[in-house]
Amino acid sequence: MKTAFAVLACALSVAAQDAVLHEASSADTQQGAPHGIGIIDVNQDGRPDVVIAQIRPAGVNIFLNDGKGNVKGDYNKMLGTRMGPNFGMAARADADAFLDFIQLDNNSGKLTVYKGSKGKLSDGQETDLGVGWPISAFPCDLNGDRQTDFVIAGWPDPVVDKTPGRLKVLLGPTLKESISLDIPECGAAAAGDVNGDKKPDVLTTDQKEGVLMVFAGDGRGQLSRTPARIPLDPADKGLKPKGILVADLTGDKILDIALCCEERQFVRILKGDGKGGFTTHLDIALATKAKFVFTGDFNGDKHADLAIGACIVAAGAQWSVTIHLGDGQGAYAKNCEFNGKGNFHFYSAAVGDMDGDKKDDLAVAVINEDEGSGSVRRYLSRK
């Protein structure tokens, strides 16, 4: 369903400003396909480094920032031995001052936390998940104790233990299970107070039915077992919504949602009403399947901008990353585009200040066509 805003977004993109990001030198992962990325100052030298989860060989690879615009991985000091690390991100998993790296493994069904400390990441601490094939982990505080909890989403595992797709809450610091809900075809999950009661709610999608699901939180780590179900398009169940972003995207201080609708090749922004309801605001059309959407302030105007990744997984396929600048009122104009051969996933990007200019930059983990190697692509803000 298109809207007047969608037409406006397309019109604005024609007259894009000068590119707000430029591509820095990339770093080759050599052996290993990257399947997740985080921005962390690992060695505490004031220069943010890049950490990726990769397969073939499996592990966590640290790319150190040399202060000269380059990052370089140390392949002899990779952390972890799991065979299928299919997700990775930076998060604050405990109460100390250091960022940690979170990894999900779809072979073992485990969550691993590599804790940050002064100068290094620690060996991983593992937690069994029981969610089928875990696809996303969202850090938040669901019970108000100022400890990091995790919302885990998983797909069905038809091979090993026949586990159905599940949404699960793990409460920190011990990561004890609080609630587990069966969802046959769960998309990625996120959290935020979308109904105005000052208690975080959990949001995910039913990919089979093309429905947004909102689970109201009680502020004590529990969720309503019967979610509000919001059809994305009653006439079209084939949107395949997977990647999700919860943020104020229209400038009214109310949380909105952006969804990557893979099969229809667009990102849909849903405007929140602050009471748990959402309506379609605009669609941002893409050339291929929408994979990821992240928000950041890439031009320093204090308005939310969007970084969107799109690709298909096929021989000779192209990927693209586009930057869409927000005006603070809900309109987005395409500003610049980067592309290449290969593919990535909905967890393959991270936003942060990598060059110290107090503007957001973008890092993307790209898998090469051979599916056994890849690269870290960095897009830095203009000075």
Nearest to 69 by CA among 382, 354, 373, 365: 354
Nearest to 324 by CA among 375, 258, 378, 253: 258
**In-domain check, residue 141:** no
pLDDT band at 70 (very low <50, low <70, confident <90, very high): confident
Amino acid at 116: G
Instruction: Quickly count: other Cβ atoms within 10 Å of residue 14's Cβ.
Output: 8
User: Are the C-beta atoms of residues 308 and 318 closer than 8 Å to each other?
Assistant: no
User: Are the C-beta atoms of residues 61 and 52 closer than 8 Å to each other?
Assistant: yes
Question: What does the pLDDT read at residue 75?
Answer: 60
**In-domain check, residue 332:** yes
Question: What does the pLDDT read at residue 78?
Answer: 67
Question: What does the pLDDT read at residue 224?
Answer: 97
The H-or-E segment that residue 4 falls in is: helix 4-14
The answer on pLDDT for 14 being more than 60 is: no
Question: What does the pLDDT read at residue 254?
Answer: 98
Three-class DSSP category at 5: helix
The answer on pLDDT for 380 being more than 90 is: yes
**In-domain check, residue 320:** yes
> Cis omega (within 30 of 0) on the bond before 234?
no
Nearest to 128 by CA among 149, 152, 148: 152
pLDDT band at 355 (very low <50, low <70, confident <90, very high): confident
pLDDT band at 77 (very low <50, low <70, confident <90, very high): low
Three-class DSSP category at 263: helix
Instruction: Quickly count: other Cβ atoms within 10 Å of residue 216's Cβ.
Output: 19
The pTM (predicted TM-score) of the whole model is 0.91
As to burial, measured by CB atoms within 10 angstroms (0-12 exposed, 13-18 middle, 19+ buried), residue 23 is middle
**In-domain check, residue 319:** yes
- Mean pLDDT of the residues in the chain: 88
User: Structure tokens of 382?
Assistant: 């203009």
**In-domain check, residue 322:** yes
- The bridge status of strand 71-73 relative to strand 133-140 is unpaired
The answer on pLDDT for 319 being more than 80 is: yes
As to burial, measured by CB atoms within 10 angstroms (0-12 exposed, 13-18 middle, 19+ buried), residue 4 is exposed
CA 241, CA 230: separation in Å to the nearest integer?
12
Q: Provide the number of structural domains found in the chain.
A: 1
**In-domain check, residue 263:** no
CA angle 82, 132, 307 (to 5 degrees): 75
User: Are the C-beta atoms of residues 173 and 94 closer than 8 Å to each other?
Assistant: yes
Q: What is the mean pLDDT of residues 5-20?
A: 51
**In-domain check, residue 161:** no
**Partner residues linked to 110 by β-bridges:** 105, 128
Question: What does the pLDDT read at residue 158?
Answer: 65
Amino acid at 6: A
Nearest to 60 by CA among 129, 108, 121: 121
Question: What does the pLDDT read at residue 80?
Answer: 64
**In-domain check, residue 255:** no
Nearest to 275 by CA among 222, 333, 217, 197: 197
> Cis omega (within 30 of 0) on the bond before 173?
yes
Question: What does the pLDDT read at residue 30?
Answer: 67
The answer on pLDDT for 3 being more than 50 is: no
Q: What is the mean pLDDT of residues 183-210?
A: 95
CA 149, CA 170: separation in Å to the nearest integer?
6
Give the torsion sign (CA, 119, 52, 326, 240): negative
Question: What does the pLDDT read at residue 28?
Answer: 80
What is the domain range of residue 324? 286-382
CA 349, CA 376: separation in Å to the nearest integer?
10
Question: What does the pLDDT read at residue 11?
Answer: 36
The answer on pLDDT for 210 being more than 90 is: yes
Question: What does the pLDDT read at residue 330?
Answer: 97
Q: What is the mean pLDDT of residues 211-225?
A: 97
